[in-house]
Each structure stands twice: as structure tokens, then as C-alpha cells.
Amino acid sequence: MNASLKSALLCTALCLPLAALAQVSNPGFESGDVSGWTVQTNGLAFPIEVVSGTTVTSAGTINPSLSDDFYAFTSQSGPGSSFLAQDFEVQPGVNRIFFDIAINNSVSDYFVPDPLSFDFNAAPNQQARFDILVPGAALDTVDPADIIVTGFQTMPGAPLIQDWTRYDIDVSAELAPFEGQTVTLRFVQVDNQGFFNLAIDNLSVGTRPPPGVDSDALPVPIGSLGWLTILSLLMVMFGLRFLRNQSPGY
């Protein structure tokens, strides 16, 4: 077998699963801290903590994460806001966002100002959300033109205690105009009514979550992986046929 061709085929095959996968730094906080993330806390919000196992806070109890390892969470001693964000370059093809969230809201409801505001000194404001922001947007922006898509938000009437829940959001269409550009994944938690925890774990971006993160996620049809992946598969198929037709030798 031609060694160079064998190596090329192996490399192509190994690269296939990564065709539409964006790099996320420290996605499950397994470094034991928030390295790789942009963090901002305001008012009486405590620094965002990274822990594992069961955590008891003034807002309630956070159970061990779905992957039973490290996770990050917000907490406070009074009104404040917390931001946790990370930039990533949009890849062609399928872009699904995966993350786990748990929530403890110690008051009677959620409060979301209209128009949107993260000001914890003004009207009742008790909320959590996940947004994808346009390139160059400010971390605390509330301008609708800066928000490509909102993948999660607490609304009045929603359960006050939410145990760990896994989210799978297909944002391929929304991110297609930003292919090759750097956008921002942003988690926000604001409170001025009472104690509030937003816990986050296992963020990933791509066609499917990393192995072991979500065994229930359905595989993505080959037609949605983009022409680059299809071309790579054809290269592998024709390469293998070529090798089968060669005479044994060195």
C-alpha cells in the first residue's frame, strides 16, 4: 500500500467529525476555574465559582451536574449581575449549541424589563438568558441589533427551581451569514429581588456534542454537513477503491 496515500486517507477520515466543529475553551470547566472565559460581575454579585458535587447556596441547592464533574455558578449577597461569555469562529455547515443549565430563583417569579435591561438598580429585574452576539458587540449589550439569537431565557411564570437540563439548539441558519467571523456566546444572570443561582456546564458547538455529553442527541444527516464533508467522504471512497485495485507490493 502506498504509504503517502494511506496517510492522506487516514487524515481525511479522522478529520470528518470535526468538519463543522468550533473550538470552545474549557467548555466543562474541567480546569477547575473559568480560564478561557470572559467573566464580568457587577453590584453585589460574587465572583463566579467553579465547583463539583452538591452545592448549597442562599438561593437553594445545586445538584451534581449531569456529567458529575465541575460546573460554574453565580451567586450574590445583594442586587447584581453576572456575565460569562466566550468567543468562537463560526464554521460552515451545521452549528448546534449544547449546554447544561440549572437554576435556583428564591423569589416568587422572574422579572424581565421591557425594553430589555440588565440594570439591577432600576425596575424589578430577576432573569437569566443565553444569547449569541454579533462580532464586536459589548458584553452587556441589550441592543436587538447586536443579538443574533437568544437560545434560552427565563420568563415570568416559569419554574423557579430548574434542575440540570440539557439544551440542544440548532442555530445553523442564524449563524450562516457570520461564517468565518467571530461571534460571542453569552450567559447573563441579573437579580434585584432576591438570591438567584445560574449554574452552567458542558458548552459545545458543532454537529453533535462531544462523546459522553449527550448520548440522546440524534446524528446529523450527511446532507447537512456541507460540501466539504461530502467531498471528503468521496475522497475516502475513491481512495479505498484505488487501493483495492493495486497489486500486492511495497
**Whole-structure pTM over 0.95, yes or no?**
no
pLDDT digits (tens, 9 = 90+) for 153-184: 999 999 999 999 999 999 999 999 999 999 99
- Classify 36 as helix, strand or coil: coil
Decide if 168 contacts 217 (C-beta within 8 A): yes
Helix, strand, coil shares of the chain, percent, nearest 5, are 20, 35, 45
Q: Specify the DSSP element, H or E, that contains 51.
A: strand 49-51
For residue 210, count CB atoms less than 10 angstroms from its CB and return exposed for 0-12, middle for 13-18, buried for 19 or more: middle
Low-confidence winner among 23-27, 122-126, 150-154, 189-193 (lowest mean pLDDT): 23-27
pLDDT digits (tens, 9 = 90+) for 22-66: 578 999 999 999 999 999 999 999 999 999 999 999 999 999 999
Dist. CA 39–CA 25, nearest whole Å: 14
Confidence of residue 208 (pLDDT cuts 50, 70, 90): confident
Mean pLDDT of 69-86: 98
Q: Cell numbers at residue 192, please?
A: 434585584
For residue 72, count CB atoms less than 10 angstroms from its CB and return exposed for 0-12, middle for 13-18, buried for 19 or more: buried
Q: What is the CA radius of gyration of the chain?
A: 22
pLDDT digits (tens, 9 = 90+) for 136-159: 999 999 999 999 999 999 999 999
| 3-15 helix and 227-244 helix, angle to the nearest 10 degrees | 150
